[in-house]
């Protein structure tokens, strides 16, 4: 499918390109990661990345990047005026592999630079990031008072909780989750918590019955 759009491409062709390149890049395909970084560096000089692959490139650059990359993307976000572009840059901060950088991304999401309605993007991405372990969940617990103050009355809180929990696959996590929410009541997220616990049980059973395969 290549990196560049071709004349008379359909919408599905454009989606196929981002799907294929994302699958390869986030599977550590060397050439795809190198090309993404090359295009990103060209973008810094001439702002020429096609908007249809801009989020993908930011994400792959973060995925293959380091603390210097994090600071660059973060500062680009702070300086950017267009909200759509800010969201692309903000989302990329949750795609690094290093837990110490992901922790910085989570802390940045609660800073004055990030709108309340946008802060959840990083927490959700870190929650689904296989390199983060339980970092999002631990951060949510640590900063619970802040998250509860911001979101406890809206529809965002259930989504935040689910994003932090759905990747778990051990029964001890269920005990930990129940204990935490018995002490920290969130009526609006009651169903989301129950669904997350059920998903963990499903994950646990899948691993248990397929462990020898």
pLDDT digits (tens, 9 = 90+) for 79-119: 999 999 999 999 999 999 999 999 999 999 999 999 998 99
pLDDT at residue number 31: 97
At residue 175, the pLDDT reads 95
Angle at 97 between CA 60 and CA 179, to 5 degrees: 130
pLDDT computed for residue 47 by the predictor:
81
Is residue 213 pLDDT above 70, yes or no?
Answer: no
Separation between Cα atoms, residue 134 and residue 120, nearest integer Å: 16
Question: What pLDDT score does 155 carry?
Answer: 85
Dihedral of CA 64/67/68/71: which sign? Answer: positive
Mean pLDDT of 125-147: 95
Q: Is the pLDDT of residue 50 over 90?
A: no
Q: Coil, strand, or helix at residue 102?
A: helix
Q: Is pLDDT above 80 for 154? A: no
Whether residue 137 is predicted with pLDDT greater than 90 in this model: the reply is yes
Token pair belonging to 88: 């692309």
Using 50, 70 and 90 to split pLDDT, how confident is the model at 206?
A: very high
pLDDT of 16-43, one tens digit each?
999 999 999 999 999 999 999 999 999 9
Tokens 């800073």, located at residue: 111
What phi and psi, each to the nearest 5 degrees, are found at residue 72? -65, -50
Q: Say yes or no to pLDDT of 204 above 80.
A: yes
Q: How large is the average pLDDT for residues 59-81?
A: 97
pLDDT of residue 182: 95
Contact 172, 206 (CB under 8 A): no
Mean pLDDT for all residues in the chain? 93
212 pLDDT more than 80: no
Q: Is the dihedral of CA 179, 182, 185, 187 positive or negative?
A: positive
């Amino acid at each position: 499918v290549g990196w560049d759009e071709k004349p008379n491409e359909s919408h599905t062709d454009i989606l196929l390109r981002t799907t294929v390149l994302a699958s390869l890049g986030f599977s550590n395909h060397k050439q795809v990661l190198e090309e993404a970084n090359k295009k990103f560096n060209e973008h810094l000089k001439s702002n020429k990345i096609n908007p249809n692959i801009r989020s993908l490139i930011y994400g792959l650059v973060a995925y293959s990047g380091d603390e210097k990359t994090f600071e660059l993307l973060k500062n680009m976000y702070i300086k950017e005026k267009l909200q759509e572009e800010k969201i692309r840059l903000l989302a990329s901060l949750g795609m690094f592999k290093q837990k110490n950088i992901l922790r910085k991304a989570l802390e940045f999401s609660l800073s004055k630079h990030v709108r309340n309605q946008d802060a959840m993007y990083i927490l959700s991405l870190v929650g689904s990031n296989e390199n983060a372990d339980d970092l999002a969940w631990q951060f949510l617990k640590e900063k619970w008072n802040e998250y509860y103050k911001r979101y406890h009355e809206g529809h965002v809180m259930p989504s935040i909780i689910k994003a932090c929990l759905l990747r778990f696959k051990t029964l001890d996590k269920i005990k930990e989750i129940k204990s935490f929410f018995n002490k920290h009541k969130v009526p609006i997220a009651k169903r989301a918590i129950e669904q997350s616990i059920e998903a963990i049980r499903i994950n646990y059973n899948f691993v248990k019955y397929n462990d020898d395969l």
